[in-house]
Amino acid sequence: MKIVMLGAPGAGKGTQAKMIAETYGIPHVSTGDIFRANIKGGTPLGMEAKTYMDKGALVPDELTVRILLDRVAQDDCKNGYVLDGFPRTIPQAEVLDAELDKLGDKIDYAIDVEVPDENIVKRMGGRRACLSCGATYHIVHIPPKQEGICDKCGSELVLRDDDKEETVMKRLAVYHEQTQPLIDFYTKKGVLKTVDGTVDSTDVFAAIRGILD
Ligand code: ADP
Ligand code: ADP
Ligand code: ZN
């Protein structure tokens, strides 16, 4: 099963993608997590990506596509995957489509997690991220068991540099301009499914299970 998660930054794509990955036994592939791991490791890729991410801009398609295609070519992706944060532009979606087509394959579901902009801005200040394992929490809605510490790996949780309100506003604008057109793209392919992302995360997941089961 190959799944694409769509939705604004902060809609809950990562939260849901992790639950899908655990429940259905497929890897969770997040381009944002790959970039952040590279920034943490001080790699040239990380240093390049950071210049865009800090501004709330997208990393160029060419670089992003290369990273993603390398990742999904790995063995653990053979039986499917859930993509979180990719594609984010029509050209990215077209390349992915063409690569899958060569393999006689396709995306089975594109799940759009719908959350209005007002809710997003409120949510993001409360997001805390683990840069070691990619887990995310919310100080009010999805708190870790111990404040500031990742439940899954024990690392320290941080407020991401790009989750400051100003940068969030910029990312939302970029989302509407460059990523939202993908809703149309996947609707035309007949694979778009929409879920309400404003309800509790367990209820969002119940709706997703209803689609995937
Ligand atoms: P969020 O989960 O808040 O939507 P991500 O972790 O997916 O954020 O992405 C963080 C940043 O990484 C983006 O703002 C962008 O700069 C970069 N990025 C991640 N995925 C992509 C992509 N597919 N194309 C271009 N840039 C990307
Ligand atoms: P995305 O990957 O789309 O950027 P995240 O999964 O990181 O979004 O979620 C953004 C923030 O909102 C995080 O702090 C997360 O814990 C929180 N969150 C996720 N789902 C919900 C929900 N259904 N209700 C309230 N907060 C949520
Ligand atoms: Zn962790």
Per-residue pLDDT tens over the stretch 34-53: 999 999 999 999 999 999 99
Active site residues: 13, 88, 127, 160, 171
Residue 107: what pLDDT?
A: 98
Answer yes or no: is the C-beta of 35 below 6 A from any ligand 1 atom: yes
The structure's pTM equals 0.96
The CA-based angle 185-190-195, given to 5 degrees, is 85
- Judge whether 149 lies within some domain: no
- Judge whether 17 lies within some domain: yes
Residue 152: what pLDDT?
A: 96
Structure tokens at 93: 């979606």
- Judge whether 75 lies within some domain: yes
- Judge whether 139 lies within some domain: no
* Domain boundaries, position 109: 2-115+173-212
**Segment 151-160 mean pLDDT:** 96
pLDDT tens, residue by residue, 70-128: 999 999 999 999 999 999 999 999 999 999 999 999 999 999 999 999 999 989 999 99
- Judge whether 145 lies within some domain: no
How far apart are the CA of 159 and the centre of ligand 3, in A?
13
Confidence band (pLDDT; 50, 70, 90) for 30? very high
- Judge whether 74 lies within some domain: yes
Which residues touch 114 (CB under 8 Å, ≥6 apart)? 7, 11, 194, 195, 196, 197, 198
Structure tokens at 81: 């995957």
pLDDT tens, residue by residue, 164-202: 999 999 999 999 999 999 999 999 999 999 999 999 999
- Judge whether 138 lies within some domain: no
Quote the number of domains for the chain. 1
Nearest ligand atom owner, CA of 162 = 1
- Judge whether 64 lies within some domain: yes
How far apart are the CA of 186 and the centre of ligand 3, in A?
32
